[in-house]
């Protein structure tokens, strides 16, 4: 009887406390999105009809998802509501800054949602989580190798593949494979052979990213590798040894390729380079973000939008300027909540695969968020990585929803067929 009671409270019937709270959140989110839609549409009469269709379709899709999963299936969709809210900010800023790219961003959001649903459904079975380990590892290495050979340099990094008018950043998709392979490899009892195999796989991925000069993404991969290795081994000495080797390797790269060091020469000296490429973006970000105050100047009224990569790498500054620092802080808090959910759910996951995958995905989100936010504010070197769910970019958006799937799958209650008596036993 106790199990049934707790289960119903968690999943939240429409009449339960959770059901009422989730409905209220959906209503407030819709009101916010309607206001944002009005603000964007009021400033763009030329693209009014097209943008109106995208905005209306987005809000309708949210309610359809809510009705199917929260009302009909009595599922807990807090993670999805957070992700929908963050993705909508990305959609509105894209429509405001680059209306011609709104369709691409709209499609990317729902492509990411489709991937999210597919991954959650696939990971329902604990017996097949390791089935794609080798294919994914080979696909990841192959995709990075293909990028290294055929991609052209864009903004200093060789990480984009162009297929006609479509641009793809393969390293974003490889992030999902990187986590999956690591979790599947170390799911069973750790052996020297399995750990060695994953180390070589990780070195291959990070090494090719280094050759592409995509150091921001390489750092995200490396931090994720450390997290996965520590989750499985718990050996601090091994982690220190790996970090030491990485530092030596980084110094060697900077020695052999001194021009790379010049890209970080302005770190902590951006005001001395505020009129050249060394500090132009970051100084403008700090100035305009501060001018937005607590509530912002209003979407479409900012100046940072005129700076290169405002809706991508500098998105946090643009949000603070036009939507206010309050919105900027709420975005950081929302991403932190996704990570806290991963840490909580991982304690009761159905196997170590889900524990490792969820924590690695959360770690990747936190590291990437830190590099983006602290990079544009000069607390860290500017590495040019995106802000999960918020930055404009199809590959980044799809990857963000894929990372969410690992966090969602770690929660045993995501799957109604999982024995509730076993779940309650784990939680006690």
25-72 per-position pLDDT tens digit: 999 999 999 999 999 999 988 999 999 999 999 999 999 999 999 888
pTM over cut 0.85: yes
Nearest to 329 by CA among 294, 355, 356, 361: 294
Domain membership of residue 312 (yes or no) is yes
Taking the mean position of all CA atoms in its chain, how far away is CA 249?
Answer: 27
Look at residue 161 and give its three-state secondary structure. strand
Domain membership of residue 353 (yes or no) is yes
* CB-based contact 58:33 (threshold 8 Å): yes
Our count of domains for the chain comes to 1
Tell me the residue ranges of DSSP E strands in 220-315: none
- Residues across the chain: 428
Q: What is the pLDDT of residue 51?
A: 96
Nearest to 267 by CA among 276, 279, 249: 279
- Gap between the terminal Cα atoms of the chain: 15
Domain that holds residue 296: 128-427
Domain membership of residue 256 (yes or no) is yes
331-363 per-position pLDDT tens digit: 999 999 999 999 898 888 888 899 999 999 999
Nearest to 33 by CA among 78, 76, 63, 2: 63
Count the neighbouring beta carbons within 10 Å of the beta carbon of residue 166.
Answer: 9
Domain membership of residue 236 (yes or no) is yes
Domain membership of residue 101 (yes or no) is no
Domain membership of residue 375 (yes or no) is yes
Q: What is the pLDDT of residue 189?
A: 53
Domain membership of residue 351 (yes or no) is yes
For residues 7-36, give the mean pLDDT. 75
175-213 per-position pLDDT tens digit: 999 999 988 887 765 555 667 778 788 888 888 887 887
Domain membership of residue 113 (yes or no) is no
Nearest to 368 by CA among 376, 112, 111: 376
């Amino acid at each position: 009887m106790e199990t049934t009671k707790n289960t119903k409270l968690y999943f939240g019937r429409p009449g339960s406390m959770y059901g009422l709270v989730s409905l209220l959140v959906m209503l407030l989110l819709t009101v916010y999105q309607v206001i944002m839609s009005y603000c964007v549409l009021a400033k763009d009469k030329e693209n009014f009809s097209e943008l109106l269709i995208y905005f209306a379709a987005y809000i309708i899709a949210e309610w359809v998802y809510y009705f199917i999963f929260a009302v009909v299936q009595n599922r807990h969709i807090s993670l999805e509501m957070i992700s929908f809210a963050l993705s909508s900010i990305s959609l509105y800023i894209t429509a405001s800054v680059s209306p011609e790219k709104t369709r691409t961003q709209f499609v990317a959001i729902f492509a990411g949602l489709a991937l999210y649903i597919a991954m959650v459904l696939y990971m329902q079975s604990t017996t097949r989580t390791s089935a794609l380990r080798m294919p994914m590892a080979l696909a990841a290495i192959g995709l990075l190798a293909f990028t290294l050979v055929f991609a052209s340099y864009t903004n200093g990094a060789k990480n984009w593949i162009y297929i006609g008018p479509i641009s793809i950043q393969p390293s974003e998709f490889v992030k999902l494979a990187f986590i999956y392979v690591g979790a599947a490899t170390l799911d069973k009892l750790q052996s020297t052979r399995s750990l060695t195999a994953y180390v070589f796989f990780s070195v291959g991925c990070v090494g090719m990213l280094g050759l592409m000069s995509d150091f921001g993404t390489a750092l995200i991969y490396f931090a994720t590798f450390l997290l996965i290795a520590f989750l499985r081994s718990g050996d601090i000495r091994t982690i220190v040894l790996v970090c030491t080797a990485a530092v030596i390797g980084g110094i060697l790269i900077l020695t052999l390729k001194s021009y790379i060091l010049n890209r970080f020469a302005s770190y902590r000296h951006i005001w001395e380079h505020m009129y050249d490429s060394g500090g132009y973006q970051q100084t403008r970000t700090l100035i305009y973000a501060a001018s937005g105050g607590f509530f912002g100047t209003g979407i479409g009224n900012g100046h940072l939008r005129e700076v290169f990569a405002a809706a991508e790498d500098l998105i946090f500054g643009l949000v603070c300027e036009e939507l206010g620092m309050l919105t900027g802080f709420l975005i950081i808090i929302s991403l932190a909540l996704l990570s806290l959910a991963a840490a909580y759910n991982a304690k009761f996951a159905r196997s170590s695969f889900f524990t490792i995958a969820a924590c690695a995905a959360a770690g990747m989100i936190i590291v990437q968020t830190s590099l983006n936010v602290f990079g544009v504010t000069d607390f860290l070197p500017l590495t040019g990585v995106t802000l999960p769910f918020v930055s404009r970019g199809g590959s980044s958006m799809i990857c963000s929803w894929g990372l969410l799937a690992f966090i969602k799958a770690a929660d045993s209650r995501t799957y109604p067929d999982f024995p509730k008596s076993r779940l309650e036993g784990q939680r006690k």
